[in-house]
Amino acid sequence: MGLKIREAIISDYENLLLLVKEVHEIHYKARPDYYKDTDIPLDKEDFINKLSHTEYKIMVAENENDEIAGYIIYKIKKIEEHPLLVDKVVVYVEDLCVTGRFKRKGIGKKLLESAIEYGKEINASSIELTVWAFNEEAIKFYESLSFKPQSIKMEMIL
């Protein structure tokens, strides 16, 4: 499969919305106490704002038929002059999705590698992300790429 990783553009919004819906549906089904049922889990204005801000990157994986097979959204976080933390730059992955029929073809890995390469270019110290404990498939994927737990967020539902 010929695959191209490129930066998203405004005209990608409708196609990305379909993929974001897939991700949101998984999260909503697993945690309806946390996520709202919505048909628009990617606000167009927010998408456009992220495209225009230098601390955000939205990359898409496109096949030879110009179909978007997946995307990654990441943000550059700078920790500076904090009294307790070391100064550093982190690439924080906010969202990663490969649509159902394109899964298990190495697309997610390529998208994540684009974030890793960018992190190296800007001398980031790490790539970080959050994954829900129920999402075992995603956890296995990240572990296969050498991600390790950094901290554990816990809850008690009342």
Q: For 70-122, how does the pLDDT look when each residue is reduced to its tens digit (9 = 90+)?
A: 999 999 999 999 999 999 999 999 999 999 889 999 999 999 999 999 999 99
pLDDT of residue 2: 83
Chain centre to alpha carbon of residue 34: 19
| pLDDT at 1 > cutoff 80 | no
Q: For 118-152, how does the pLDDT look when each residue is reduced to its tens digit (9 = 90+)?
A: 999 999 999 999 999 999 999 999 999 999 999 99
Distant-in-sequence, close-in-space partners of 61: CB < 8 Å, separation ≥ 6: 3, 4, 5, 68, 69, 70, 71, 98, 102, 107, 110, 111
**Tokens 């994986």, residue located:** 61
pLDDT of residue 86: 95
